[in-house]
Amino acid sequence: MRSQSLISSFLTALLFSVAVPAQTVKRTHFGFDFSNAPAAAGKVHVAPDMDYSEKRGFGFEPGAELKQTNHGITSEKPFYFHIAVPQEGNYKVTVTFGDLLSATNNTVFAELRRLMVESVETQPGADATRIFIVNTRTPAISGGGKVRINNREQTQEAWAWDERLSLEFHGAHPGIRSMEVEKVDVPTVYLLGDSTVCDQASEPYNSWGQMLTRFLKPEVAVANGAESGDSIAASLSAGRFAKFWGQMKPGDYLFIQYGHNDMKSKAPNALETYATNLRRAVDETRNHGGTPVLVTSVSRRTFGPDGIIANSFSGYTDAVRAVAKEKDCAWIDLQACSALFYEALGDQRSHLAFATMQENTHHNSYGSYAIAKCVVMGIKQARLDLAGNIVDDFKDFDPSHPDPVELFKLPRLSDSNQ
């Protein structure tokens, strides 16, 4: 009888091992305890010397200067923490900040410098919890194929495409106690466009797509698939639209902003081709259950002698407006809002919104933060259902009266350690 029992146990174990291979079990919930006390139930203990490794599946970017107490981990400098996630998609991140002995100041960026949490402060012994949604992605397209990512995306921008969820903890004195990460199914705001929208890899450049995350509640995700140098034709050809269409479901949005690079084409029918591609983008998005939102190009810094920004887009922003009207599609006039923003600053001080004194197109954090506010106002003015997901602390933005640059306190983003 004992022999039969052993055989039965062996066969049961064998059947289980065949039916449920260990490597197919994919975790969708992660818990981390950053104190030096025994880890709380359901959480993994994290020590300051735990650099990221594929075997461990989580850890800090090498070079972090960290201090651990029985309350958590703090630092005098920004640091990164990576988590290997089993599949791409949207992850809810719950972070508890604080330190027993010192005050903390915390700002969090995700993946490639997307602003998630802005300036959360705690007093000694106190803590504060914040929740946000991070979208992760790989080049694979649902149904087959891959996005044709360029050399820059494979090097400087690799964190936007890898199989990890990456967080940067920033601020005057960041301090974290615990963190939970869980895969969730929430509406997604997809972004496609050019360098004024994309996740810029390093200072002093920044885009409104990287700042939009700060202004939406943790009930929706933002997936930024825009890329520097792209026209709408290039993005279609590279599979960027196909990537998002393959994931799209009712309740999702696709914000589409092109024009800067499209107008460089020498083809005699370039403008009509641009309009045709916009029509296709609207139709396909609707066919996949999503809501398309056309966005006119953010203005360049093109002051005329009268102190007014001149329209430098040679009919391309007019084409956006025309297609939006033709297709009865929601649209946001970012060209007009950004022009008012520059004009309010004036010819000389408007340089303070751009990455360098020589730049007239690409913004720094101050500029992109304001442009993101223009987009949020556009969401409200277009009466999108998405307006219900705007954060409670957002106050209506008047581009003619922008926040003074001297009061802008967002910490300078660290250059990527890649």
Type of residue found at 292: P
> How many other CB atoms are there within 10 angstroms of residue 275's CB atom?
21
Whether domain 186-407 has CATH 3.40.50.1110: the reply is: yes
Whether the full predicted model's pTM is greater than 0.75, yes or no, is: yes
Of the candidates 227, 204, 261, 89, the one whose C-alpha atom is nearest the C-alpha of residue 151 is: 227
CATH architecture of 20-185: Sandwich (2.60)
pLDDT tens-digit series, residues 283-341: 999 999 999 999 999 999 999 999 999 999 999 999 999 999 999 999 999 999 999 99
Q: 171, 102 in Cβ contact below 8 A?
A: no
Of the candidates 229, 371, 349, the one whose C-alpha atom is nearest the C-alpha of residue 298 is: 371
Name every residue whose Cβ is closer than 8 Å to that of residue 66 and which is 6 or more positions away in sequence: 48, 60, 73, 74, 75, 79
The Cα 416–Cα 76 span in angstroms is 18
- CATH 3.40.50.1110, the chain: domain bounds: 186-407
Of the candidates 300, 299, 308, 208, the one whose C-alpha atom is nearest the C-alpha of residue 255 is: 208
The Cα 386–Cα 384 span in angstroms is 5
Phi, psi of 87 (to 5 degrees): -155, 155
pLDDT tens-digit series, residues 377-413: 999 999 999 999 999 999 999 999 999 999 998 876 5
The Cα 269–Cα 29 span in angstroms is 51
The Cα 294–Cα 316 span in angstroms is 12
The Cα 378–Cα 366 span in angstroms is 19
Residue 353 Cα distances to 170, 264, 276, 295, 367, angstroms:
22, 24, 33, 20, 4
327: Cα within 13 Å, side-chain hemisphere: 25
pLDDT digit string (tens) for the chain, length 418 residues: 333 333 333 333 333 333 333 333 467 899 999 999 888 888 999 999 999 999 999 999 999 999 998 899 999 999 999 999 999 999 999 999 999 999 999 999 999 999 999 999 999 999 999 999 999 999 999 999 999 999 999 999 999 999 999 999 999 999 999 999 999 999 999 999 999 999 999 999 999 999 999 999 999 999 999 999 999 999 999 999 999 999 999 999 999 999 999 999 999 999 999 999 999 999 999 999 999 999 999 999 999 999 999 999 999 999 999 999 999 999 999 999 999 999 999 999 999 999 999 999 999 999 999 999 999 999 999 999 999 999 999 999 999 999 999 999 887 655 444 4
Q: 193, 256 in Cβ contact below 8 A?
A: yes
pLDDT tens-digit series, residues 129-138: 999 999 999 9
- CATH 2.60.120.430, the chain: domain bounds: 20-185
Name every residue whose Cβ is closer than 8 Å to that of residue 70 and which is 6 or more positions away in sequence: 35, 36, 37, 100
Residue 394, both tokens: 């957002």
Coil, strand or helix at 53: coil
